[in-house]
Chains A and B, each alone.
Chain A
Amino acid sequence: MKYEMSRVVRTVTDILVVPIIIFGIYLIIHGHLTPGGGFQGGAVIASSTALLVIAYGSFGKHKKDLSSLESLGLTLFILLALIGMGSTMFYNYISGTGGLFGGTLPSLGINPGYINTGGTITLMNLMVGLEVSAALSLIIWMMSKRSGMMEPEETISPSEEVEK
């Protein structure tokens, strides 16, 4: 239990992780209206990973899943862009069609911000958020593994193999 921190830290972490993730999702969903967006929201979500790694000193066995999640987010992003190819790539084909993302656009000028008017922008923000949260979590995992903050793994990297 050398890598685990005290019970107080772990309990506070457990409580804090939930609002951090929710705030991250808020930033992603409101990306087209307020400062923030996919990258920022994803980074906030990844900071919850940092908290968990520091408090518990382990990462679980989800490295491959995160890696796939990263690729999945990017693939869907490009697919969303390519679907617009009927007009042009990155054409916002959902905007103004009604439904969850395609609310009618308000006229120009000051308005309170309508959340359902983003069209493909909201979906793309979601995909970028998925990608960034997974990628930054992986980066945190890599760095904490090397810095001795986490339980070292059994595998030897090729560079160490060569030195031997």
Chain B
Amino acid sequence: MNFDIFVHSPAFILGIPLLFAFLTPLVNRLSEQLRNVVFGIGLVLTAFFVGLMSYQVLTEGSWLYVFGANQPEPQNLLSYFYFRITFVADSFAVLATITISITAVAAGIYSYGFMKDETGLNKFYTLFLLTLAGVNGMVLTGDLFNLFVWFEVTSVASCALVAFRNYRGRSVEAALKYMVLSTVGGLLVLFSIGLMYGQYGVLNYALLTQSISGTFIDKLALGLLVVIFAMKASSAPMHMWAPDAYSEAPGSVTPFIAITSLGSLFVLFRLLFGVIGVNVDPSVSGTLLIILGVLSMIVGVTMALVQTDLKRLIAYLSVSQVGYMMMAVGVGLATLNSADYQNFGTLAMKGGLFHMINDGVYKALLFLSAVAVVHVTDIRSLNKLGGLAHDMPYTTVFFLIGALSIAGIPPLSGFSSKLLIYQSVYLYSPVLAIVALVVSIITLAVVGKAFFNAFLGPDQGLAEKKVPSSMLFGMGLLTVVVIIFTLFPNLIVSEIVSPAVKALVGVMP
């Protein structure tokens, strides 16, 4: 049997971070430099296998990876035991894993400089890689129970990351809030999985799609799953944990906690389109998504207006960005069975999914540059900051690019995805497009205030130290990606986003 590394890449995407997560504490006993190297190798290898999987999916098409079988791709899924764990490697998983791994590599490199002075770093790196494995598993898995397992792995590891600086009472409080919500959420996910399994006796996505008939119990299970994954995706009105967790986590992992939210959103979309939603009644769940999305947009941005804490401000902005994606994909879902889907539904889906990959990157850039400000000044209040452009020119540029991108200023990448959303959502209901535009304008006001207060004005000598080079490198990496998205939006949409939309809406492989 010849060994095809491309076909095996989904297993490596899962296995490599797990292996390196548990290697890190062992290597730490030998030397701390070696541990940092091992951590870096783990991150880069994971990203490398994500690249391999993307290449294979985009050239050869999608496939199912069956764990523990004697060959990775099943000839006939039904010939396998119903409870074999499968991974779905399709274009949607490619979009999700690319978003995750870009942020993970940047945040990992950023951590070297940022976390230098903390103790217990071997556990930090272990938790970081475990979260990476958890999120990757969550978006790749093709099995409901396996989804629950990765949901719990992600929750536990990211809660521990939020509480990492346990000498700060606020971190522990934020982590406790996050932990309680995630655990209750995990139990409800398990309950809804039980509801599905009790009725149909299968857990595999592909088999489940064929058997679901849309009974009352199916609707109950779908409702529970939507609420829990929307909660994990930090959508209003279940967003209250997000600002705490984002602002109290160690700075370098803040974008990574945000990525676990995006991962949950990816899972939500996959469940809604691929598994349960299409069999229940897409227009109802689509309308629900639109309502949640509009609510998140408005609540997030109005709360961001009144914040004076730099990190909390960006955390609320991220809540409002999640609203854009939910609204756009909700429009796609609501029109799925009508002729409108061909008219503007696909465009809305493209806009929503393109906004996800965009948002993952520029939000990470914005978070990391804000954290760099807090790192060198030790001040978080916007009222006390000022004149930092004199001391930290690079960070100023990075923050500006992230800020303009999140506000959707042309020609930056945020603009191209938001334009797709405005165009298509307007055809569904003009009110939604107006709300989206107004929220975008308020976003510009919010980031404008933050940028003006923190960076412009006379030099006040607030910077106590220089930004370490690894932190600059992490931010620079994200900036390069944002610029690539800015320069070639057509290419990204046609090569990555459109296949993802097709894979999401179409039948599973």
Contacts and interface: CB of A to CB of B under 8 A. Distances in A.
Interface of A: 64, 67-68, 70-72, 74-75, 78-79, 81-82, 84-92, 157-159, 161-162
Interface string B57-71: 000000001111111
Contacts of A74: 18, 22
A44 B400 CA distance: 57
A78 B22 contact: yes
B3 A86 contact: yes
A71 B15 CA distance: 15
Contacts of A70: 25
Interface in B16-43: 18-19, 22-26, 29
Nearest to B26: A71
A42 to B, nearest CB: 16
A89 B18 CA distance: 13
Contacts of B167: 157-159, 161-162
Which 3 residue pairs of A and B lie closest in terms of their CB atoms, listed nearest first?
A89-B11, A74-B22, A158-B167
Contacts of A82: 15, 19
B11 A64 contact: no
A68 B25 contact: yes
B119 interface: yes
Given A78-B22, A82-B15, A88 B65 contact: yes
A87 B4 CA distance: 10
Interface in B75-106: 85
A89 B14 CA distance: 10
A72 B11 contact: no
Q: How large is the interface on B (under 10, 10 to 19, 20 to 34, 35 or more residues)?
A: 20 to 34
B166 interface: yes
Contacts of B25: 67-68, 70-71
A129 to B, nearest CB: 16
A89 B29 contact: no
Contacts of A158: 119, 166-167
Contacts of A86: 1, 3
B8 interface: yes
B26 A90 contact: no
B29 A81 contact: no
A119 to B, nearest CB: 11
B67 A68 contact: no
Given A74-B22, A88-B8, 10 more contacts: A71-B23, A74-B18, A75-B22, A75-B26, A86-B1, A88-B67, A158-B166, A158-B167, A159-B167, A161-B167
A117 B19 CA distance: 26
A87 B22 contact: no
A70 B8 CA distance: 28
25 contacts: A68-B26, A70-B25, A71-B26, A78-B18, A78-B19, A79-B19, A82-B19, A85-B3, A85-B8, A85-B12, A86-B1, A86-B3, A87-B70, A88-B8, A88-B66, A88-B67, A88-B70, A89-B11, A89-B67, A90-B68, A90-B85, A91-B69, A158-B119, A158-B166, A158-B167
